[in-house]
Structure 1
Amino acid sequence: MADDTAVVWFRRDLRIHDNAALLAACDADELLAVYAFDPREYGERAFGGRDSFRFEKTGPYRARFRREAVADLRERLRDRGSDLVVRHERPEVAVPAVAEAVDADAVHYQSLPVPEEVDVETALRGRLRDLGVTPSRRWTHTLYHPNDLPVEYTEISDTYTRFRETVENRATVREPLPDPDVPDAPTEEVDAGSIPDAGALGVDEAEDDDRAALAFVGGETAALDRLDRYVFEEDRLREYKQTRNGLSGQGFSSKLSAWLTEGCLSPRTVRREVERYERERVANDSTYWLLFELIWRDFFGFQFAKHGTDFFRRGGIRGRDDIHWRDDDEQFGRWAAGETGVPFVDAAMRELNATGYQSNRARQNAASFLANDLRIDWRRGAAYFETQLVDYDPASNYGNWAYIAGVGNDSRDRSFDVVGQAKRYDADGEYVARWIPELAALPAGAVHEPWTLSDAERAQYGVRLGVDYPEPMVDPTDR
């Protein structure tokens, strides 16, 4: 039986297409949509738990992207004769207040796996039940639905390869849901509210940099445009596996992650478009590899549903106590600022700070240097990425950092030979030269190892280590 009046609470599902929570809510006679900018997601906060530290929760690039995504969702709902109520308040306060104002029968929303998000949902459900309003949750964030997994999510393998083989052989991906017909809003007067600017959220304004790989614009409209551009318009998918380790430019990878994270784009829609591409153009290792990466995203999402807060401990889900993690503010600050004296790491961090983005290859090397070369608490690095990344996904970010640090889902040594990686993936030195202009005059053979130059060569190229560019923090030859 349909509700007379429903509220749909948008979270990290900022889209109309393939949205189970929205579709269920649209069965009601009347519908009002709500989004709440949670103040706890902005500004400085304590990491929490043992060995806590303080960090900025959300930086300027993700904050801007999210505001754009909410604005785009509001416009898309208005185009359908509806609207989006926006609040700058804790969701467990804002959403029940709106539900009470319109005498809603039910609130429909997305359920998420990360402990902070689970806590918000739990608080919301309690308040709704106190009001006599039915909470109704849907899982909308992964490629595979948890009900379609061959085993309960609590029993899934902690090894990616085993998880992937299991779901590929014993599970199916549901087809994307249709776009709904959105009912009229309730007749009760509810202030639509305004989208808070950066100052109201307590974050700096994002500054554009013309060296950025891509200008990330938030919202479902931009998400669908990017998917079509990468897959069909530019026909990049056929070479994805070969180009995905690129470092500069917009076309070497799909760069769908920011839209997937905020839910502007459904992973099932991505899969559908990949399959259409395979039917219409070509099916090869590259077309499969994009789906392979989506399964990685699922893997970490379900891992967080399984292990919860264990992922945020120094010893990770493996409870390791045999690694001596250090807390060194000076060294951490040099890493974060891109002043380690190791060009590949510094280029990666300078790109992150200037644009909110790094390629996957750059992320792995920057993370490995902090966790494995400096042995600084890996969670500080993960939290810094949480602040800066436009495409920060809680499960993927902390899951990958734990993986690199040796406390997560892989028992192997994940330490990277950063200089070797630089020579392999930035052989011409173009990436380092782009982000470290003080090294741009160096020949490709020296740009990744300026410490190998003679005094005469340094003078020739105008590079004084310790003056123009830092001496390396560690002995690069000590591998």
Structure 2
Amino acid sequence: MYGLAVSQIVPPLCVWLKRDLRVVDHAALSAAIERAQGGDVFCVFVYEPEIFCQPEIHSRHLTFQRECLIDLEKSLQQLRIRLITRQGDAVTVLEQLRRETGFSKLFAHEETGTAISYARDQRVRHWAQTVGVQFEEFSQNGVVRRLNSRDGWNRYWESKMNQPQTVVHPLPRHCVNKTVVQLPSAGLLQPIDLGYEKKQMDCQPGGEHNAGMILQDFVDNRGQFYSGRISSPVTAPKSCSRLSAHLAFGAISIRRVWQATEQKRSEVRGLAMTETNQAARKQFQRWQKSIQSMQSRLHWHCHFMQKLEDEPEIEYRNMWSAADGLREKEFSNEYFQAWKNGRTGYPLVDACMRSLEVSGWLPFRMRALVVSFASYSLWLHWRPTGLHLATCFLDFEPGIHWSQMQMQSGTTGINTLRIYNPTKQAKEQDPQGHFIRKWLPELMSVPDVFIHTPWMMPAHIQQSSGCEIGSVYPKPIVDHALALRQAKSRFTVLRQDKKARDEASAVAVRHGSRRDRRGAMRQDPERKSLRKKASVDQQSETVCTEEQTVLPFIYE
């Protein structure tokens, strides 16, 4: 197969691929090659029905995954390593391969995934122990398994990011294992092969090669304007790193991204200090601010994943149990369907939801907006809305996704409640309505003065613009100002309860961020005060009633 002589001497080593579809900085693959000791190494990717049938999975994820696998197979061939794919339960497939090849060592990366993948990993560990397979797992990011305390986590994270990237060498030109050469493989399956309909979408293409080019382009060109242009849906597609999906599927390691930004940070820092031309100096200073902002988000990436690693149950239940029952019994399917389909009557919210369905991506502020609107204006529980968004986000990363869903819905108990005004955000982030008109063609001829508030158009302008409100485009489904007052009132009552505050303090100790040495992870003032309360005065019976301490809100 590879133009080499074959024999059958030393049992091969197996590398189990999951969401680590790359060869650069791949600790599990590197360790397997190093320990092969003259034997062969093969990689296996398993199409697991219980994984790809999860409610969070969409055909866009399977398409991106396939593109990553196509690229990965080419890279593995250059390393003289074969990629095998099989369909079925992971334990069943691995046992079958063990019987076929005689492998007794299994290498893989740790994964912080959904409850289903967590249970799957536990079964694989039990199987390996039962049959005598040496199963070794490696960390591929800054998430710490069995973490005792968040204290010191930032130092560990930066230490991990600054370690040299793992080097993956080709297998020596020795006699490859005949059995591995002859192993049957399922091939690289299309979504339709896995029971998904083929849908026309405009999502990023996957693959390690693409990830590398995107990273290089970011640190060479696009990253200069990252800090100032990442919020608007008009400028964000080109100014954001656009690496999130590649990180989620492991097509690039977060350490590789961190080190590329570190190199750029050092470069522009020196240039900013020595440059005498004022315009050039401002450019380097802009780069400095943008790189700092990007690195801050890399910190947060693993910070949120760590929450799910430490407490897997937050995928399903409120992090702050005081919020139990807050929204569950008042769920409106009418509101949910209108939000999901981009028919709420609030243009920026609707444009975001329709854009997301096609592109699989939104900038962070727009993600926060649609969740805030669903959670506070429509009073929808975060789990159903989170499941829908998970199918839409090409970069769905369980640890980040579910932690953010709870944070933006107010059910962590430790974060300042950020409630976004959809009209204010529309005027600030899409002032000319370019994004809105692109995704809401029914508003194409609406005058600029009404593009953010079409319900305010007089009847004759509705007629002349071909956009009758209530027919062509819906009236606002709720009164946002009234819904906001009601949401604030409910959370005020909840957060004034001493038992709820005490529980929030415990959540802050377990999951709250700690300031890092560079100040990249800025602490939420509410979370900081809760941690102080828990550590300084656990015995105090004093109930603080000052409004901004008990109930901090930011209305954006």
TM-score, L = length of structure 1: 0.88
- Superposition deviation, residue 172 in structure 1: 6.3
Gaps spanning 5+ residues in structure 2: where? 1-9, 269-283, 485-556
Tell me the residue number matched to 2:206. Answer: 218
| Cα distance in 2, alignment partners of residues 271 and 463 from structure 1 | 48
Tell me the residue number matched to 2:530. Answer: none
| Cα distance in 2, alignment partners of residues 440 and 327 from structure 1 | 33
Tell me the residue number matched to 1:103. Answer: 102
| Cα distance in 1, alignment partners of residues 423 and 25 from structure 2 | 43
Matched, 1:240 2:226: yes
CA RMSD of superposed structures (Å)? 2.2
Gaps spanning 5+ residues in structure 1: where? 46-55, 210-214
The one-letter code matched in structure 2 to 1:40 is: E
Tell me the residue number matched to 2:240. Answer: 253
Matched, 1:20 2:24: no
Tell me the residue number matched to 1:129. Answer: 129
For 1:222-371, what aligned pairs fall within 5 Å after superposition?
222-232=210-220, 235-248=221-234, 250-281=237-268, 282=284, 284-313=288-317, 315-321=318-324, 323-325=326-328, 326-371=330-375
| Cα distance in 1, alignment partners of residues 357 and 390 from structure 2 | 12
| Cα distance in 2, alignment partners of residues 421 and 199 from structure 1 | 39
| Cα distance in 1, alignment partners of residues 298 and 200 from structure 2 | 30
Tell me the residue number matched to 2:538. Answer: none
Comparing both structures, which one devotes a greater share of its residues to helix? 2
- Superposition deviation, residue 445 in structure 1: 2.8
Identity rate, percent: 23
Q: Highest Rg: 1 or 2?
A: 2
Tell me the residue number matched to 1:174. Answer: 163
Per-residue CA deviation, residues 58-111 of structure 1 (Å, 9 max, x unaligned), is 112111101111121112111222221011212222123213311112000011
Shift in CA distance, 186/328, structure 1 to aligned 2, threshold 3 Å: farther
Tell me the residue number matched to 2:410. Answer: 406
| Cα distance in 2, alignment partners of residues 403 and 155 from structure 1 | 20
- Superposition deviation, residue 408 in structure 1: 2.4
| Cα distance in 2, alignment partners of residues 264 and 203 from structure 1 | 23
Tell me the residue number matched to 1:461. Answer: 465
Matched residue of 2:391: which SS? helix
For 1:44-193, what aligned pairs fall within 5 Å after superposition?
56-114=55-113, 115-140=115-140, 142=141, 144=142, 146=144, 153-156=147-150, 173-182=162-171, 186-188=177-179, 189-193=182-186
- Superposition deviation, residue 412 in structure 1: 2.1
Shift in CA distance, 154/469, structure 1 to aligned 2, threshold 3 Å: farther
| Cα distance in 1, alignment partners of residues 397 and 310 from structure 2 | 17
Tell me the residue number matched to 1:53. Answer: none
Matched residue of 1:153: which SS? coil
Is the contact made by 1:41 and 1:57 (CA closer than 8 Å) also made in structure 2?
Answer: no
- Superposition deviation, residue 454 in structure 1: 1.4
TM-score, L = length of structure 2: 0.76
Shift in CA distance, 289/163, structure 1 to aligned 2, threshold 3 Å: farther
| Most deviating of 250-259 and 107-116 | 107-116
The one-letter code matched in structure 1 to 2:386 is: A
- Superposition deviation, residue 225 in structure 1: 1.2
- Superposition deviation, residue 466 in structure 1: 1.2
| Most deviating of 412-421 and 167-176 | 167-176
Matched residue of 1:375: which SS? coil
Matched residue of 1:86: which SS? strand
- Superposition deviation, residue 390 in structure 1: 1.0
Tell me the residue number matched to 2:527. Answer: none
| Cα distance in 2, alignment partners of residues 402 and 440 from structure 1 | 35
Is the contact made by 1:245 and 1:252 (CA closer than 8 Å) also made in structure 2?
Answer: no
For 1:382-393, what aligned pairs fall within 5 Å after superposition?
382-393=386-397
| Cα distance in 1, alignment partners of residues 99 and 200 from structure 2 | 40
Report the number of matched residues. Answer: 447
- Superposition deviation, residue 405 in structure 1: 0.6
Shift in CA distance, 319/69, structure 1 to aligned 2, threshold 3 Å: farther
| Most deviating of 258-267 and 170-179 | 170-179
- Superposition deviation, residue 317 in structure 1: 4.3
Matched residue of 2:311: which SS? helix
